[in-house]
Amino acid sequence: MIRLAVVSGKGGTGKTMVAAALADIGEVPQVLADCDVDAANLALLFPLRRISTEEFQGIEISRINLDLCRDCGICADRCRFGAIVRRDDAWTVDPLHCEGCGVCSYTCPVGAIQMEPHTCGEIYTSMTDRGNLAHARLFPGSGNSGLLVTEVKKRAVALSEGADLMLADGPPGIGCPLIATVSGMDAVLVVTEPGISALHDLSRLVTVCRRFGVRIFVVINRFDLADDICKEIEDYCAKENLAVAGKIPFDPAVIEAVREGRPVTRRDSPAAEALREIQESLFSELGLI
Amino acid sequence: MRIAIASGKGGTGKSTVAANLAWALSRSRDVTLVDCDVEEPNLHLFFPAPATDVPVTTPNPEIDAARCTLCGECGKFCRFGALAVVKDCVLTFPHLCHSCGGCTLVCPHGAIREVPRTIGRVSCSRPLSRLVLISGVLNEGEVQAPAVIRAAKVLAEGHPLTLYDASPGTSCPVIETIAGSDACILVTESTPFGLHDLSLAAEVAEKLGTPAGVVINRSNGQDEATVAFCREHGLPVLMTIPFSREIAAVQNRGGLISRDLPGWEERFAGLFRAIPGVSP
């Protein structure tokens, strides 16, 4: 099975739109994974039937038993994350800031602090008309997004019987969830756009992806909004030996498709046409067709 | 006054709003702009100026082999897998370390001390006479974004008016950015993706007890669903920016619509006055 992640560095360049289009038109048996667990949107474009829902337990966090607490405050002094706070004249753990390191529990002289499991999201598996989908929801404000991405990928593997392709929609950025997404992939498709921010973010993302030894392909979205910067991106790709899989024109049909909750490739338009060409050249490069 | 600019969904225009708001305000008062999107910081592209860099380090364990008895307490304690006790030494994995200091506390032989490791930098510049830009930059391959955000915010302390530009998403880096802010601007676009992610970002602001308002970007006039959501959740719509190729072109080339297009300086000044809790 070939594993391909759609990523971007900068947010909002069109990752999910491109991932949905590839998922929509390929004829290769596939499994889908939405690794953008902070803000998962792939499920908004494919009608789905839920197979399973399970709780996602992140790392354990601490809880203070106020019946035992002697109010000494040693835990608050030792905690480096500011997670032990004064509320209603008592020490309490702020779960938004607790990293789950266990230092408070270790240093409490009266054993008043326990480490307890903490549910910070849900993991789903679903069926769509374009293959099985593993996805998740991280509760807003929770940590552990990298760990959740890893769980989503594991579910996708479990659902992948008979699939030749795992197609993952990745998160923006270059931190924890991105690294968890790219690790173990065969290839990444980087969606960028002709803007100085996107170009800057592309080069940082490429640096990170190179450490994982994945094949890197680039697609330039809305390329005709700034021809000169598009040229700069192409020059950058040539210099870095990155394959440009194609360019997508600015096309109001894209927004219309998102508003209607469907992949853009369900109807003919200039963007849909470009995406078909990209899919063909990319899948052939990956040996899928 | 500290104002965070966040969004949930990426690419909705957080940096556009932050950069233009900062420029408009800097015409009449001192402003400090902090780029807390440390994975992909971009604000310096809109305000090029010579900068001074301060490295950001986190403490990581170093083992004194002469004192270590390989008892294994540190490896047992570390919940992040950053230390592993093997046959004849203790292996450390600095990228996994959260710098909690637990290993130094549990070591019965005083064989662990913490040494700083550079994971990023904070870059400070003064691109305009009344604007200070502080950008957090996480080194490629590192994952401790919150530590770099903390360092950037610490450098901005004491300034009278500070704007924090957050990263996309709703997890640790966004919490680190919004925490301690007096108000939060949530930037969205009127698509189902934008609305879905706005609802998540609004939940984060609510959990942190930070008053929030909404900016609708790239509007094509069909904002009913977003406006209805805002009404239901008591979030004021502070400003609506229409979709226009002209605006996109200014932005894509590193320009500022508040400076380069007529009327926008006043509109961004108006946005500031509309933020919940602002008394100009």
The two tokens of residue B47 are 């305000």
Q: What is the mean pLDDT of residues B160-171?
A: 96
Residue spans in chain A of domains classed CATH 3.40.50.300: 2-57+121-285
Is A221 in the B-facing interface, judged by CB distances under 8 Å?
Answer: no
B150, closest residue in chain A (CA to CA): A81
Residue spans in chain A of domains classed CATH 3.30.70.20: 61-116
Q: How far is CA A16 from CA A119, A172, B106, B268, in A?
A: 27, 11, 46, 31
Q: Is B102 within a domain?
A: yes
Q: Is the pLDDT of residue B235 over 70?
A: yes
- Cβ proximity of A152 and A131 under 8 Å: no
Q: How far apart are CA A102 and CA A212, in angstroms?
A: 31
Is B108 in the A-facing interface, judged by CB distances under 8 Å?
Answer: no
In this structure, the answer to whether residues B225 and B173 fall within a common structural domain is yes
Which residues in chain A land under pLDDT 70? Answer: none
In this structure, the answer to whether residues B70 and B140 fall within a common structural domain is no
pLDDT at residue B256, as a whole number: 98
Q: What is the mean pLDDT of residues B189-202?
A: 95
From the list B147, B55, B60, the residue with the least C-alpha distance to B97 is B60
From the list A226, A225, A243, the residue with the least C-alpha distance to A234 is A243
Is B169 in the A-facing interface, judged by CB distances under 8 Å?
Answer: yes
B76, closest residue in chain A (CA to CA): A102
In this structure, the answer to whether residues B16 and B133 fall within a common structural domain is yes
pLDDT at residue B277, as a whole number: 86
Q: Is the pLDDT of residue B109 over 60?
A: yes
For A287, counting Cβ atoms within 10 Å of its Cβ (0-12 exposed, 13-18 middle, 19+ buried), the class is: exposed
| Element of type H or E holding A254 | helix A252-259
The two tokens of residue A85 are 């706070």
Is B204 in the A-facing interface, judged by CB distances under 8 Å?
Answer: yes
In this structure, the answer to whether residues B159 and B210 fall within a common structural domain is yes
CA distance B141 to chain A (A): 6
The amino acid sitting at A42 is L
pLDDT at residue B98, as a whole number: 94
B169, closest residue in chain A (CA to CA): A38
Is B100 in the A-facing interface, judged by CB distances under 8 Å?
Answer: yes
Q: Inter-chain contact A39–B9, Cβ cutoff 8 Å? A: yes
From the list B28, B9, B34, the residue with the least C-alpha distance to B125 is B34
Q: What is the mean pLDDT of residues B11-40?
A: 97
CA distance B205 to chain A (A): 9
Pick B101's closest partner by Cβ from A38, A80, A138.
A80
Q: Is B24 within a domain?
A: yes
pLDDT at residue B13, as a whole number: 96
A61-116 is a CATH 2.30.38.10 domain: no
In this structure, the answer to whether residues B131 and B258 fall within a common structural domain is yes
pLDDT at residue B186, as a whole number: 98
In this structure, the answer to whether residues B239 and B112 fall within a common structural domain is no
Pick B196's closest partner by Cβ from A41, A103, A177.
A41
Q: What's chain B's Rg over C-alpha atoms? A: 22
B222, closest residue in chain A (CA to CA): A259
- Cβ proximity of A124 and A135 under 8 Å: yes
Q: Inter-chain contact B141–A179, Cβ cutoff 8 Å? A: yes
Q: How far apart are CA A156 and CA B263, in angstroms?
A: 50
Task: Tally the domains of chain B.
Answer: 2
Q: Is the pLDDT of residue B279 over 80?
A: no
Q: How far apart are CA A143 and CA A149, in angstroms?
A: 12
**Mean pLDDT of chain B, nearest integer:** 96
Adjacent-strand bridge partners of A119 = A57
Chain A residues close to B8, C-beta within 8 Å: 38-39
Is A92 in the B-facing interface, judged by CB distances under 8 Å?
Answer: no
Q: Is B8 within a domain?
A: yes
- CATH no. for residue B223? 3.40.50.300
Of B101, B118, B135, the position where a domain reaches its end is B118
Is B170 in the A-facing interface, judged by CB distances under 8 Å?
Answer: yes
Q: Determine the 3-state secondary structure of A282 from DSSP.
A: helix
Chain A residues close to B42, C-beta within 8 Å: 10, 196-197, 200-201
Of B70, B102, B118, the position where a domain reaches its end is B118
In this structure, the answer to whether residues B240 and B133 fall within a common structural domain is yes
CATH number for the domain running over A2-57+121-285: 3.40.50.300
The two tokens of residue B43 are 């604000």
| Burial readout B105-144 (b: 16 or more C-beta within 10 A, e: otherwise) | ebbeeebbeeeebebbbbbbbebeeebbbbbbbbbbbbbb
pLDDT at residue A179, as a whole number: 96
pLDDT at residue A208, as a whole number: 97
From the list B213, B207, B164, the residue with the least C-alpha distance to A140 is B207
Q: Inter-chain contact A101–B172, Cβ cutoff 8 Å? A: no
Q: What is the mean pLDDT of residues B90-118?
A: 97
Q: How far is CA A55 from CA A34, A149, B130, B224, in A?
A: 17, 14, 49, 34
- Cβ proximity of B70 and B112 under 8 Å: no
- Cβ proximity of A156 and A32 under 8 Å: yes
Pick B252's closest partner by Cβ from A80, A177, A226.
A226
Q: Determine the 3-state secondary structure of A87 from DSSP.
A: strand
Domain of B6, in residue numbers: 2-56+120-274
CA distance B22 to chain A (A): 18
In this structure, the answer to whether residues B159 and B252 fall within a common structural domain is yes
Global confidence as pTM: 0.95
Q: Which of B39, B60, B197 to mutate to test the interface with A (most CBs of A within 10 A)?
A: B39
Q: Is B172 within a domain?
A: yes
In this structure, the answer to whether residues B101 and B146 fall within a common structural domain is no
Q: Is B149 within a domain?
A: yes
CA distance B153 to chain A (A): 15
pLDDT at residue B280, as a whole number: 57
In this structure, the answer to whether residues B181 and B110 fall within a common structural domain is no
Q: Determine the 3-state secondary structure of A162 from DSSP.
A: coil
Q: Inter-chain contact B248–A261, Cβ cutoff 8 Å? A: no
Q: Inter-chain contact B196–A107, Cβ cutoff 8 Å? A: no
In this structure, the answer to whether residues B124 and B246 fall within a common structural domain is yes
Chain B residues close to A41, C-beta within 8 Å: 9, 192-193, 196-197
Q: Is the pLDDT of residue B6 over 70?
A: yes
CA distance A68 to chain B (A): 22
Q: Inter-chain contact B170–A195, Cβ cutoff 8 Å? A: no
pLDDT tens digit string along B143-156? 999 999 999 999 99
- CATH no. for residue B102? 3.30.70.20
Q: Inter-chain contact A101–B98, Cβ cutoff 8 Å? A: yes
Chain A residues close to B252, C-beta within 8 Å: 193-196, 225-226, 229
pLDDT at residue B62, as a whole number: 97
pLDDT tens digit string along B244-264? 999 999 999 999 999 999 999
B201, closest residue in chain A (CA to CA): A140
Of B118, B138, B167, the position where a domain reaches its end is B118
Q: Can you tell me the ipTM of this complex?
A: 0.94
In this structure, the answer to whether residues B36 and B154 fall within a common structural domain is yes
- Find residues 237-266 of chain B whose CB sits inside 8 Å of chain A: 245, 248-249, 251-254
Q: What is the mean pLDDT of residues B106-122?
A: 98
CA distance B26 to chain A (A): 22
**Where does the pLDDT of residue B190 fall: very low under 50, low under 70, confident under 90, or very high at 90 and above?**
confident
B247, closest residue in chain A (CA to CA): A225
Q: Beta-strand (E) ranges in A130-256? A: 131-138, 165-169, 187-192, 215-221, 243-248
Q: Inter-chain contact A141–B170, Cβ cutoff 8 Å? A: yes
